[in-house]
């Protein structure tokens, strides 16, 4: 929802005479395609949602299998998912 919130923030800033990126730089996080269609286009971080879903499902299956065998699951606390920073006009230096 971060890109959606950034789109709303852009609207509010514009309505109050605050210019992006001259007065404020704005960035979202989701990589939704619509963030490229705003004026100015909003910079974002696009994540690999299918990879996140696979990771969560794999961990849930592993945890369930461990529980069925009455074993203690591995201590998996974090993982790394690929992302891409997509710089656009909303974060350009003035």
| Tens digits of residue pLDDT in 7-43 | 999 999 999 999 999 999 999 999 999 999 999 999 9
Look up the pTM and report it. 0.74
pLDDT digits (tens, 9 = 90+) for 34-75: 999 999 999 999 998 899 899 889 888 888 888 888 887 766
Give the C-alpha separation, 29 to 49, whole Å. 12
40 within 8 A of 91, measured Cβ to Cβ:
no
Residue ranges of the alpha helices (H) in the chain?
A: 2-15, 49-68
pLDDT value for 94:
59
């Amino acid at each position: 929802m971060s890109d959606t919130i950034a789109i709303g923030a852009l609207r509010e800033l514009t309505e109050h005479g605050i210019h992006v990126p001259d007065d404020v730089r704005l960035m979202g996080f989701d990589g939704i395609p619509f963030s490229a269609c705003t004026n100015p286009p909003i910079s974002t971080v696009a994540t690999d949602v299918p990879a996140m879903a696979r990771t969560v499902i794999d961990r849930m299956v592993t945890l369930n299998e461990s529980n069925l065998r009455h074993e203690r699951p591995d201590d998996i606390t974090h993982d790394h998912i690929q992302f891409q920073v997509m710089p656009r006009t909303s974060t350009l230096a003035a």
